[in-house]
């Protein structure tokens, strides 16, 4: 396969940045998208040019490090992470546009790499339980209804890749925040701090210059882990409870 | 933070009002006497506890407050969205991962809202105060409706506005229910369908009288 790539190049955070077009020849359909970028980078390095910077780590779809907007969709045409997207999803001769996550809360560091520290700070503001845990308790020591455990687990699969923010027309980080609120809110260990958590996390979310949620649903449509949109409704319900009890 | 609840609650008030308003409109099919009696009765609700048109004015004040709260919340959200992805940080290529019809409803929430508010002003000047009176002014509410909607472009303007309302509600009802915490994965489909059904019901319900007049079924 021969591919034409339009890639966002930006030398440093303050740099203006622009789209640059590259040709990548002899791409195997079995390559992952990142491997295709590796091929491009080898070519650029041999030519003495600066390779395209992109974030990646596990390359098996579980770390959340990789993530770029491909042809206008976060993580590209398949509902998975960029590293698990394969070139067979494209055709020979395609022109593919690759851009970094775009949000004020995600400043570009270089090329396709953005600083997602804002998500870490949201977690720091309340995405944890502050109970002394000790050794792992017996599995049956604290019974959790199956439905709650499943819902908590579904929400806990969030890998913090930031695709929800990238896809959101409002650049809102609500699905990410809601996933953690739902995860901990469904479990007994999360109850003591449940109301304070949702209030603190939302406050931090807003401070980080993320936009507001208008329930559009683009986030859930691109989430590689399939975090459901209803987690946002759960967050709203918890927040309403916190506001009503005067904890906000 | 409480803004999204204000948005949902004010929207809910407006939707409930629309349903009552639509019910009233459909009385046009009962004939001139029924419709005019109904219009007259609206002004007498609560008498003598309330002054003439007292109930109507309470409703109007509540509606105006709801519209202002709704518009304020929308403006703040729009402003935040603009700041969250400022100019110079926009995508060169951006595609939706959702179905086109849903995308259209969500994308038109803001501009659709502006169109609706402009329509409401035109509509009040037309059928309430009768300052705009294409087809001739009248003291009879029934006559005003018939005079107006016999003209094709009047009906067309109401058609455009009601389609805007329908799209707005298709996303709006679902969004409000979500904001109030009603959405669960198991009922998301049902909520979306209910939202579409309410939007369709209101659109069709409001369009029946104007089109009946246009096609001479009501005269």
Strand partners, A18: A9
Q: How far is B181 from chain A (nearest CA, A)?
A: 4
Residue A104: per-residue pLDDT = 96
- B3-87+98-214: which CATH topology? 3 helical TM bundles of succinate and fumarate reductases (1.20.1300)
Q: How far is A55 from chain B (nearest CA, A)?
A: 19
Q: Would the CB atoms of A240 and B181 count as touching at under 8 Å?
A: yes
Residue B108 touches partner A, C-beta closer than 8 Å: no
Residue A216 touches partner B, C-beta closer than 8 Å: yes
Taking only the tens place, the pLDDT of each residue in B86-120 is 988 899 999 998 888 778 888 899 999 999 999 99
Instruction: Nearest by CB to A102, from B81, B89, B179: name it.
Output: B89
Residue B135: per-residue pLDDT = 84
Contact present, B93 and A97 (Cβ < 8 Å): yes
* CA dist., res. B144 & res. B136, Å (int): 8
Nearest CA in chain A to B104: A216
Nearest-5° angle of CA B2, CA B3, CA B9?
Answer: 90
Contact present, B138 and B126 (Cβ < 8 Å): no
Contact present, B126 and B210 (Cβ < 8 Å): no
* CA dist., res. B146 & res. B36, Å (int): 12
Weakly modelled stretches of chain A, pLDDT under 50 = none
Q: Would the CB atoms of A236 and B83 count as touching at under 8 Å?
A: no
pTM of the predicted protein model: 0.92
Taking only the tens place, the pLDDT of each residue in A110-132 is 999 999 999 999 999 999 998 77
Residue A67: per-residue pLDDT = 94
Contact present, A195 and A238 (Cβ < 8 Å): yes
Strands A69-70 vs A95-99: parallel, antiparallel or unpaired: antiparallel
Instruction: Nearest by CB to A215, from B107, B174, B185: name it.
Output: B174
Q: Would the CB atoms of A104 and B84 count as touching at under 8 Å?
A: yes
**Domains of chain A in sequence order:** 3-110 (3.10.20.30), 116-132+141-244 (1.10.1060.10)
Sign of the CA dihedral with B128 first, then B133, B139, and B144 last: negative
Report residue B158: phi and psi, to 5°. Answer: -70, -35
Measured between beta carbons, the chain B residues lying within 8 angstroms of A115 are none
Residue A193: per-residue pLDDT = 94
* DSSP H or E stretch at residue A69: strand A69-70
Give the three-state DSSP class for A7. strand
Measured between beta carbons, the chain B residues lying within 8 angstroms of A201 are none
Contact present, B205 and B22 (Cβ < 8 Å): yes
What is the DSSP secondary structure assignment for residue A88, as one 8-state letter?
A: G
Domain ranges of chain B: 3-87+98-214
Half-sphere exposure of A226 (CA within 13 A, CB side): 6
Nearest CA in chain B to A77: B97
Q: How far is A31 from chain B (nearest CA, A)?
A: 24
Residue A185: per-residue pLDDT = 96
* CA dist., res. A178 & res. A186, Å (int): 12
Weakly modelled stretches of chain B, pLDDT under 50 = none
Q: Would the CB atoms of B97 and A221 count as touching at under 8 Å?
A: yes
Residue B20: per-residue pLDDT = 96
Interface test with B, best of A176, A205, A212, A244 (most B CBs within 10 A): A212
């Amino acid at each position: 396969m021969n591919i034409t790539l339009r890639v966002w190049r930006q030398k440093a955070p303050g740099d203006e940045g622009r789209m640059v077009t590259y040709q990548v020849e002899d791409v195997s359909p079995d390559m992952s998208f990142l491997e295709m970028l590796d091929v491009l980078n080898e070519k650029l390095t041999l030519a003495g040019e600066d390779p395209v910077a992109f974030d990646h780590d596990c390359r098996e779809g579980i770390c959340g490090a990789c993530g770029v907007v491909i042809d206008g969709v976060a993580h590209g045409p398949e509902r998975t992470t960029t590293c698990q997207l394969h070139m067979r999803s494209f055709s020979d001769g395609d022109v593919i546009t690759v851009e970094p996550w775009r949000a004020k809360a995600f400043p570009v560091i270089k090329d396709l790499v953005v600083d997602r520290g804002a998500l870490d700070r949201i977690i720091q503001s309340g995405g944890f339980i502050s109970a002394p845990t000790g050794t792992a308790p017996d599995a049956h020591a604290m019974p959790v209804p199956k439905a709650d455990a499943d819902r908590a687990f579904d929400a806990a699969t969030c890998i913090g890749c930031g695709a929800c923010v990238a896809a959101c027309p409002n650049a809102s980080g609500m699905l990410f925040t809601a996933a953690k609120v739902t995860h901990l809110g469904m479990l007994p260990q999360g109850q003591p701090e449940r109301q304070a958590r949702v209030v603190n996390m939302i406050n931090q979310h807003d401070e980080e210059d993320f936009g507001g949620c208008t329930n559009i649903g683009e986030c859930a449509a691109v989430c590689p882990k399939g975090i459901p949109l209803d987690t946002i409704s759960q967050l709203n319900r918890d927040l309403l409870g916190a506001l009503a009890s005067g904890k906000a | 933070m409480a803004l999204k609840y204000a948005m949902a609650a004010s929207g809910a008030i407006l939707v409930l009002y629309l349903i009552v308003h639509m019910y009233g409109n459909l009385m046009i099919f009962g004939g001139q006497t029924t419709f005019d009696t109904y219009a007259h009765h609206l002004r007498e609700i609560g008498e003598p506890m309330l002054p003439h048109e007292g109930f109507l004015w309470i409703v109007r004040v509540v509606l105006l407050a709801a519209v202002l709260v709704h518009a304020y919340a929308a403006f703040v959200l729009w402003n935040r969205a603009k700041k969250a992805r400022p100019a110079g940080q926009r995508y060169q290529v951006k595609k939706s991962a959702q179905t086109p019809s849903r995308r259209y409803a969500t994308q038109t929430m803001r501009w659709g809202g502006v169109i609706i508010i402009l329509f409401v002003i035109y509509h009040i000047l037309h059928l309430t105060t009768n300052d705009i009176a294409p087809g001739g002014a009248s003291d009879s509410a029934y006559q005003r409706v018939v005079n107006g909607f016999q003209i094709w472009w009047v009906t067309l303007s109401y058609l455009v506005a009601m389609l805007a309302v329908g799209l707005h509600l298709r996303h709006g009802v679902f969004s409000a229910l979500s904001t109030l915490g009603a959405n669960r994965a198991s009922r998301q489909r049902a909520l979306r369908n209910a939202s579409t059904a309410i939007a369709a019901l209101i659109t069709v319900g409001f369009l029946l009288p104007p089109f009946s007049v246009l096609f001479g079924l009501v005269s």
